[in-house]
């Protein structure tokens, strides 16, 4: 783990951090000079890890806890009856603590917990490979603090929650693996744990499920570029959440680069890439600030399957809440969970699986584009585009994932429309024109029999049938209304009386 970065990875990191250190040389030595083990140890010895405790939501200075100085616990207001949540930042570009730290401190102080910060800025403000080597030392420092708390004030390690961002996630892991004895840290949360020099390594060289009683991770920027993922891609926790597939995040696309240039000038590229990496932090903050709007992740093998709506089950622990209130009843194998989020807070969306059964009565494959309008007990949403991605050839059922930004309540009606106007509408109009009145045209369109819906957040299953059971055919530019099948059954019974 102590080997220097390869030149291609270094070049990408230069783009990512926009650091003056990147200009020190791109020759045979990736960092302009060689950092050996002796120099790395020297940098560790000259710096220190500081532990700060925050008294309230607006406290940005913190009060320093000092090992073997029990009076600092009282001075800093440490409450032994409340859990301890320690924030651990990542690699530093400019030697300054980032603004998200104070946002997370403020959000955590809304809960009855001690909130602290592991300030290792002097060790993190190094060339990346040196900062990576320092993570193990800082982890041992954190372990020393926690063991001292256990010995001096009988503070239980099970009441400790470490929240590590990027490199800080692996610092948390090293803190957990440094514990001696039977007791483990209660929980570790990794916020987009760093990928370079950690991807593919053994569990002892990174954050792993063995480092605490419960480990969860949120992966938000695992997209590979030139062999590099800023965040680690592989599962490293009991529950690994992959919002939007974990590769990139809504609102962080390079299409937004012009907006970032206006806001951040030359740092625009940094901000665009950092946006997705740091989204993990803001998703966690959102879970504290909007506790009544919790995002839910669903266990799935990959994003392709999830995008078909095939994984919206909560049976046997297959779903869990993302963020602070994650359910910690893990048992068995580690789980990969996927979810969709909005581009800004509150990030929660509502997930639905739609299974649509078609019968194609035409002689040729049909590749239509549809829209759906949904009506629920709490609201509605207009014209959601539906693209099946392949031609409808015969009797076939399609499964797809639909997400809504707002809660429309229980679905009561679906309006389904065939939007392909250009080609099929002309064909249909021509057929109708040349056919004599009262003669049924040979072209019969599509038959849309049923729409089955499963709501991920409520786990409710519903089946919708055509409102007009005497006309099941769907033609270009035509809209069909679907209602709950049980409602249709009641209507038919009344009609038959």
CB 178 within 8 A of CB 271: no
CB 86 within 8 A of CB 116: yes
Chain mean position to CA 423: 40
> What is the bridge-based pairing of β-strands 214-218 and 239-243?
parallel
pLDDT band at 180 (very low <50, low <70, confident <90, very high): confident
Mean pLDDT for 55-70 is 90
More confident residue, 470 or 127: 127
Which contacts (CB < 8 Å, 24+ apart) does range 316-320 have?
319/456, 320/239, 320/241, 320/296
Which tens digit of pLDDT belongs to each residue from 281-291? 999 999 999 99
Beta bridge partners of 65: 51
Mean pLDDT for 201-215 is 96
**Three-class SS state of 185:** coil
- Integer Cα distance of 84 and 232 in angstroms: 26
- Integer Cα distance of 157 and 179 in angstroms: 10
- Integer Cα distance of 462 and 485 in angstroms: 8
Beta bridge partners of 454: 353, 461
206 is in an annotated binding site: yes
Structure tokens at 403: 């997400």
Identify the pLDDT of residue 225: 56
CB 164 within 8 A of CB 131: no
The answer to whether 21-339 and 350-496 have equal CATH topology is no
Place of tokens 């759906």: 372
Identify the pLDDT of residue 343: 95
Place of tokens 């049980």: 486
Catalytic residue chosen out of the listed positions 43, 129, 166, 295: 166
- Integer Cα distance of 58 and 7 in angstroms: 42
Identify the pLDDT of residue 396: 79
- Integer Cα distance of 243 and 191 in angstroms: 12
Catalytic residue chosen out of the listed positions 119, 141, 192, 240: 192
Percent of the residues in the chain that have a pLDDT greater than 90, as a whole number:
62
CATH fold for the domain made of 21-339: Rossmann fold (3.40.50)
Lowest mean pLDDT among 97-101, 236-240, 258-262, 392-396: 258-262
CB 294 within 8 A of CB 322: yes
First-to-last alpha carbon distance for the chain, in angstroms, is 79
Mean pLDDT for 317-340 is 92
Taking Cα atoms as reference points, which of 213, 206, 286, 205 lies closest to residue 243?
Answer: 286
Q: Write out the H or E segment, with its range, that includes residue 374.
A: strand 369-376
Taking Cα atoms as reference points, which of 293, 256, 135 lies closest to residue 201?
Answer: 135
What is Dmax (Cα atoms) for the chain? 97
User: Any catalytic annotation for residue 166?
Assistant: yes
Ordered by start, the domain boundaries in the chain are 21-339, 350-496
Phi, psi of 226 (to 5 degrees): 55, 40
Does the pLDDT of residue 419 top 90, yes or no?
A: no
- Report the mean per-residue pLDDT for the chain: 83
Does the pLDDT of residue 328 top 50, yes or no?
A: yes
Beta bridge partners of 184: none
Q: How far is CA 349 from CA 251, 294, 341, 371, in A?
A: 15, 9, 6, 19
What is the DSSP secondary structure assignment for residue 225, as one 8-state letter?
A: B
Identify the pLDDT of residue 378: 96
Catalytic residue chosen out of the listed positions 277, 282, 351, 475: 277
Does the pLDDT of residue 14 top 60, yes or no?
A: no
CATH fold for the domain made of 350-496: Lipoxygenase-1 (2.60.60)
Lowest mean pLDDT among 80-89, 163-172, 472-481: 472-481
Structure tokens at 203: 């569990």
User: Any catalytic annotation for residue 192?
Assistant: yes
Identify the pLDDT of residue 58: 82
Does the pLDDT of residue 405 top 60, yes or no?
A: yes
211 is in an annotated binding site: yes
User: Any catalytic annotation for residue 351?
Assistant: no
Lowest mean pLDDT among 103-117, 337-351, 416-430: 416-430
Mutual angle of helices 100-108 and 268-289, in 10-degree steps: 0
Identify the pLDDT of residue 302: 95
Phi, psi of 476 (to 5 degrees): -55, 140
91-100, 117-126, 251-260, range with greatest mean pLDDT: 117-126
Residue 316: Cβ within 10 Å count: 9
Structure tokens at 101: 């730290």
Mean pLDDT for 244-252 is 92
Q: Write out the H or E segment, with its range, that includes residue 123.
A: helix 121-124
């Amino acid at each position: 783990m102590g080997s220097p970065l390869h030149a291609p990875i270094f070049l990408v990191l230069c783009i990512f951090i926009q650091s003056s250190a990147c200009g020190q040389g791109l020759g045979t030595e990736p960092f302009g000079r060689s950092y050996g083990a002796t120099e790395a140890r020297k940098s560790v010895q000259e710096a220190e890890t500081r532990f700060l405790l925050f008294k309230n939501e607006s406290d940005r200075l913190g009060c320093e806890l000092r090992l073997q100085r029990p009076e600092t616990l009282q001075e800093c207001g440490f409450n032994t009856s409340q859990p301890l949540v320690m924030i651990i930042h990542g690699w530093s570009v400019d030697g300054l603590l980032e603004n998200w730290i104070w946002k997370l401190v403020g959000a955590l102080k809304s809960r009855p917990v001690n909130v602290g910060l592991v300030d290792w800025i002097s060790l993190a403000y190094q060339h990346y490979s040196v900062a990576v080597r320092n993570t193990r030392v800082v982890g041992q420092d954190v372990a020393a603090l926690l063991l001292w708390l256990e010995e001096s004030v009988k503070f239980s390690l099970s009441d400790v929650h470490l929240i590590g961002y990027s490199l800080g996630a692996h610092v948390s892991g090293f803190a957990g693996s440094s514990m001696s004895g039977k007791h483990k840290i209660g929980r570790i949360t990794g916020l987009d744990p760093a990928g370079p020099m950690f991807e593919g390594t053994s569990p002892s060289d990174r954050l792993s499920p063995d480092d605490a009683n419960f480990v969860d991770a949120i992966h938000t920027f695992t997209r590979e570029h030139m062999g590099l993922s800023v965040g680690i891609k592989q599962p490293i926790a009991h529950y690994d959440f992959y919002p939007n597939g974990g590769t990139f995040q809504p609102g962080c696309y390079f299409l937004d680069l012009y907006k970032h240039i206006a806001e951040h000038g030359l740092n625009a590229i940094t901000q665009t890439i950092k946006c997705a990496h740091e989204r993990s932090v803001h998703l966690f903050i959102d879970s504290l600030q909007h506790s009544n709007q919790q995002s839910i992740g669903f266990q799935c093998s990959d994003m392709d399957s999830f995008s078909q709506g095939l994984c919206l089950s909560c049976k046997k622990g297959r779903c869990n809440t993302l963020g602070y209130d994650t359910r910690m009843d893990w048992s068995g194998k580690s789980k990969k969970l996927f979810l969709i989020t909005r581009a800004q807070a509150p990030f929660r969306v509502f997930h639905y699986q739609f299974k649509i059964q078609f019968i194609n009565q035409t002689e040729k494959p049909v590749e239509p584009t549809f829209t759906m309008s949904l009506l629920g007990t709490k609201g509605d949403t207009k014209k959601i585009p539906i693209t099946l991605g392949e031609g409808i050839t015969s009797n076939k059922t399609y499964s797809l994932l639909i997400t809504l930004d707002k809660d429309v309540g229980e679905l009561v009606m679906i309006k389904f429309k065939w939007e392909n106007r250009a080609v099929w509408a002309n064909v249909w109009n021509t057929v109708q024109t040349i056919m004599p009145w009262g003669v049924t045209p040979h072209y019969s369109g599509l038959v849309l029999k049923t729409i089955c819906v499963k709501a991920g957040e409520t786990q409710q299953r519903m089946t919708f049938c055509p409102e007009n059971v005497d006309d099941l055919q769907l033609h270009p530019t035509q809209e069909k209304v679907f209602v709950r099948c049980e409602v249709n059954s009641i209507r038919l019974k009344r009609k038959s009386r």
